[in-house]
Amino acid sequence: MNKLSLGILVAATGVASAVAQDEVKWDKSASFGVTLTRGNSETMLAAANFQADRKGSENEVSLGATATYGSNDGTVNANYIRGFGQYNRLYTTSCLVISG
């Protein structure tokens, strides 16, 4: 009886891992940083970044955003915002259509 139970458990685990490998998930990353200096001058720099990618067997999606702000003695010297999005449809291994 113990051998039969173990065999069924191993088979069920193998099926569950095969299903999980076909599942496409988002790959995400985010960062944020701040730099402050005080002394002869007062400076501040802040930067943030976010990116998300999803790659499947037939579709790829990439989204992201970046922002930067900086000042020196009360004068703004860096002010930047950028966002992007890209969608790729993979028809075959040698044919690719890109939009974005």
Q: Identify the segments of the chain with pLDDT beneath 50.
A: 1-21
Question: What is the DSSP-derived secondary structure letter of residue 74?
Answer: T
Look at strands 43-55 and 95-99 and give their pairing.
unpaired
pLDDT of residue 1: 40
Both tokens assigned to 42? 């007062």
Q: Angle at CA 81, nearest 5°, toward 56 and 79?
A: 155
Q: Are 68 and 45 in contact (CB under 8 A)?
A: yes
pLDDT of residue 5: 36
pTM, to two decimals: 0.63
Q: What is the pLDDT of residue 41?
A: 92
The conformation of residue 56, written as its DSSP 8-state character, comes to: -
CB-based contact 51:60 (threshold 8 Å) = no
Looking at residue 100, its pLDDT comes to 62
